[in-house]
């Protein structure tokens, strides 16, 4: 039962292929970690999932719907930086998760009060209630990312996309963010795609780990070929020592 | 110790701040004294005392014919023109800045056009403005608008364009329409920049105001300066110049205060 379906996905900038022939099926509620070296198209793949870019060929469908033409309510995103609105207080950032779809981008009267109360509950749950009236710039990096995740979830997306969300955090904060994310996921059962540089993080949080790499390599012209999914690990049973290869690999094996 | 590491204490800092002002005053007083001893009826550098007396007279005594204190009428007339011109520039500039910065279609349509427009020297248009809009208030306000609007549009469209793409994408994933992104994300983010742009435009705005008043007006700070020039009334001119400087400085300070007060989150950018 495939929830997110990626079929024959190609993305080319100019005549430079970035990713080629990506096929993957993801069930609802799966947590997908995406790893790979720099410049191997993980972030491009995430932008394609987000519909911030449209692929040269191929398509991405969520729950069988038509491929999206622009970012929308069904996909939530948390970037490494610039994920919350700096000109809104912490509380208003959460309220924005619900109110931006309204005609004026804000609620009025009773609806506004109800949304504020819901936002305060959310903030209490994620431990940010004491800074509800502050601006995000006064928050630490970890708090800003917690806020960004809560804001994205306030819009109730069908798929949550995380682009190196903890990349700029120190190791201790990163661990507490892992707990935070795992709790939220246990609560919501949401489908998540997370791009990360950190292999340990990828296996710890993910149900599946997709590895992006270039299966073909021209030493005279490294940008000749694009990257694709070369490994697809099942990471459910506890991370690194226990991973098992899930699908056929696309790399030529040494003889 | 290196010079770059030597920082003044509070007392020394205050002294250093006041020093150039004092130096100018002293230089003027000495120069004026030298000229007046050589020729007591010299009009070029009136003694500081004379300027002070003139200042008091201008601020308090009415015109002999009408009884109006012209100084305040001049100030009021000039400030009205300036305020109107700047207000029109700021609001039109804000709208077009957002349109050009946010919508690629508008950028293609208008960005180059505004860039070319901004190269027209506004003072060269002054005769046309006088012919088209007459010698009244309208042509002066229009000159200020023509002189400051292209800069404000270009600055704000650039700032809007520089809003991190991540924020615009995030807003879209929260279901925001183009309209909501414009009023809830882009507008508040460029408001502090608008105040900055207006601050930078105040200098040119005063320039165009005084130029327009010098050529055709019957009231206004610039008009008065160019009127008394005929009588070499340096004391009056100096009073007006000091007053214009104080006004300009006060406006600048007020705008900076407003920016801090209403957009505290943009603090580090100012």
Whether the Cβ atoms of residue A84 and residue B189 lie closer than 8 Å to each other: no
Predicted local distance difference test score (pLDDT) of residue B209 = 93
Q: For chain A, what is the mean pLDDT?
A: 86
User: How many other C-beta atoms lie within 10 A of the C-beta of residue A68?
Assistant: 19
CA gap A25, A245 in Å, rounded? 16
* pLDDT > 90 fraction of chain B, expressed in percent and rounded: 72
Rounded Cα–Cα distance for residues B176 and B174 (Å) = 6
Is A85 in Cβ contact with B167 (below 8 Å)? yes
Q: CA angle A184-A185-A190, nearest 5°?
A: 125
- Ramachandran angles phi, psi of B5, nearest 5°: -100, 0
Q: A52, A238 in Cβ contact below 8 A?
A: no
- Does A167 touch chain B if contact means CB atoms closer than 8 Å? no
Say what the pLDDT of residue A174 is: 87
Within 8 A by CB and 6+ apart from A59, the residues are A6, A7, A8, A9, A67
Q: Encoding tokens for residue A38?
A: 């720099």
Q: Are A87 and B175 a contacting pair at CB < 8 A? A: no
* pLDDT of amino acid A237: 64
What is the pLDDT, as a whole number, of residue A127? 86
Phi-psi region of B220 (alpha: psi -120 to 50; beta: other; left: phi over 0): left
pLDDT at A247 over 80: no
What residue of B is the nearest CA neighbor of A47? B169
Give A227's DSSP letter. Answer: B
Nearest to B183 among A52, A105, A137 (CB): A105
Q: Is the pLDDT of residue B252 over 50?
A: yes
Q: Where are the domains of chain A?
A: 1-74+160-255, 76-156
**pLDDT > 80? residue B268:** no
Distance CA B91, CA A255 (A): 71
Can you give the pLDDT at residue B216? 84
Non-local (6+) Cβ contacts of B17 within 8 A are: none
Q: Does domain B60-269 have CATH number 3.30.365.10?
A: no
* B172–chain A Cβ distance below 8 A for any pair: yes
Measure the CA–CA gap between A67 and A20, rounded to whole angstroms.
18
Question: What average pLDDT does range B161-187 have in this prediction?
Answer: 94
DSSP character string of A60-107: EEETTPPPPSS--TTEEEE-SSS-S-TTS-HHHHHHHHHHTTSTTSS-
State mean pLDDT over A19-27.
Answer: 89
Contact across the interface for A71 and B173, Cβ inside 8 Å:
yes
Domain layout of chain B by residue ranges: 11-45, 60-269
Q: What is the pLDDT of residues B110-135, one digit of tens each?
A: 999 999 999 999 889 888 988 999 88
> How much is the average pLDDT of A129-145?
90
Residues composing chain A: 255
> Given the DSSP bridges, would you call strands A208-213 and A31-36 parallel, antiparallel or unpaired?
parallel
In the prediction, which pLDDT does A241 show? 47
pLDDT in tens, B188-240: 999 999 999 999 999 999 999 999 999 888 899 999 999 988 888 899 999 99
pLDDT confidence tier of residue A253, bands split at 50, 70 and 90: low
Q: Which residue of B has its CA nearest to A89?
A: B265
Q: Let me know: does B52 contact B71? Beta carbons within 8 Å.
A: no
pLDDT more than 70, % of chain A: 92
ipTM, 2 dp: 0.86
- At residue A42's C-alpha, the angle toward residues A38 and A46, to 5°, is 145
A173 burial level (CB within 10 Å; 0-12, 13-18, 19+): middle
Which of the given ranges, A150-154, A201-205, B94-98, B260-264, has the highest pLDDT on average? B94-98
Going by pLDDT thresholds of 50, 70 and 90, the confidence category of residue A246 is low
pLDDT at A238 over 80: no
The CA distance from B177 to the nearest CA of chain A, in Å, is 7
| Cβ B152 vs Cβ B201: under 8 Å | yes
CATH number for A1-74+160-255 (one of 3.40.309.10, 3.40.50.720, 3.40.50.300, 3.40.50.800): it is 3.40.50.300
Residue A39 has a pLDDT of 78
CB count in 10 Å sphere of residue B10:
7
Mutate to test the interface with A, among B104, B165, B174, B191 (most CBs of A within 10 A): B174
User: In the sheet that A57-62 helps form, which strands lie side by side, from edge to edge?
Assistant: A16-26, A4-13, A57-62
| Mean pLDDT along residues B171-199 | 94
Q: What CA–CA distance (Å, rounded) separates B198 from B217? A: 25
């Amino acid at each position: 039962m495939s929830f997110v379906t990626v079929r024959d996905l190609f993305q080319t900038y100019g005549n430079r292929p970035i990713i080629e022939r990506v096929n993957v099926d993801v069930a609802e509620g799966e947590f997908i970690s995406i790893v790979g070296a720099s410049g191997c198209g993980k972030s491009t793949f995430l932008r394609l999932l987000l519909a911030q870019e449209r692929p040269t060929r191929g398509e991405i469908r969520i729950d069988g719907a038509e491929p999206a033409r622009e970012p929308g309510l069904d996909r939530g995103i948390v970037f490494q930086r610039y994920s919350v609105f700096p000109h809104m207080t912490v509380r208003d950032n959460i309220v924005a998760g619900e109110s931006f779809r309204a005609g004026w981008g804000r609620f009025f009267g009773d609806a506004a009060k109800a949304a504020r109360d819901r936002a305060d509950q959310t903030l209490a749950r994620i431990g940010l209630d004491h800074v509800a009236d502050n601006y995000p710039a006064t928050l630490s990096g970890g708090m800003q990312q917690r806020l960004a995740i809560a804001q994205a979830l306030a819009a109730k997306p069908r798929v949550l996309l995380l682009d190196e969300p903890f990349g700029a955090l120190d190791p201790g904060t990163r661990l507490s963010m892992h707990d935070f994310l795992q709790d939220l996921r246990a609560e919501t059962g949401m489908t998540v795609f997370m791009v990360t540089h950190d292999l340990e993080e990828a296996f710890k949080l993910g149900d599946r780990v997709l590895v992006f790499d270039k299966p073909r390599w021209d030493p005279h012209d490294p940008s000749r070929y694009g990257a694709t999914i070369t490994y697809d690990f099942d990471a459910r049973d506890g991370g690194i020592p226990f991973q098992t290869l899930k699908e056929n690999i696309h790399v030529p094996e040494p003889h | 110790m290196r010079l770059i590491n030597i920082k003044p204490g509070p007392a020394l800092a205050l002294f250093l701040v006041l020093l150039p002002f004092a130096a100018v005053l002293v230089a003027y007083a000495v120069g004026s004294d030298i000229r007046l001893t050589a020729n007591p009826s010299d009009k070029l550098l009136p003694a500081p005392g004379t300027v002070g007396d003139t200042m008091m007279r201008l601020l308090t005594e009415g015109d002999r014919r009408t009884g109006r204190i012209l100084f305040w009428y001049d100030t009021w007339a000039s400030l009205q023109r300036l305020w109107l011109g700047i207000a029109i520039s700021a609001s039109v500039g804000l709208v077009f800045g957002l349109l050009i910065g946010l919508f690629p279609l508008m950028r293609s349509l208008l960005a180059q056009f505004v860039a070319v427009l901004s190269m027209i020297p506004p003072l060269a248009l002054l005769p046309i403005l006088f012919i088209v809009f007459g010698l009244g208030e309208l042509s002066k306000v229009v000159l200020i608008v023509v002189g400051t609007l292209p800069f404000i549009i270009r600055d704000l469209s650039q700032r809007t364009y520089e809003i991190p793409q991540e924020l615009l994408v995030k807003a879209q994933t929260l279901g925001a329409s183009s309209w909501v992104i414009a009023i809830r994300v882009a507008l508040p983010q460029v408001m502090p920049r608008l105040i900055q742009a207006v601050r930078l435009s105040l200098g040119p705005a005063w320039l165009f105001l005084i130029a327009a008043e010098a050529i055709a007006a019957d009231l206004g700070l610039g008009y008065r300066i160019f009127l008394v020039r005929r009588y070499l009334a340096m004391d009056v001119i100096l009073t007006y110049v000091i007053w214009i400087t104080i006004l300009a400085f006060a406006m600048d300070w007020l705008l900076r205060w407003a920016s801090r007060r209403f957009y505290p989150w943009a603090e580090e950018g100012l």
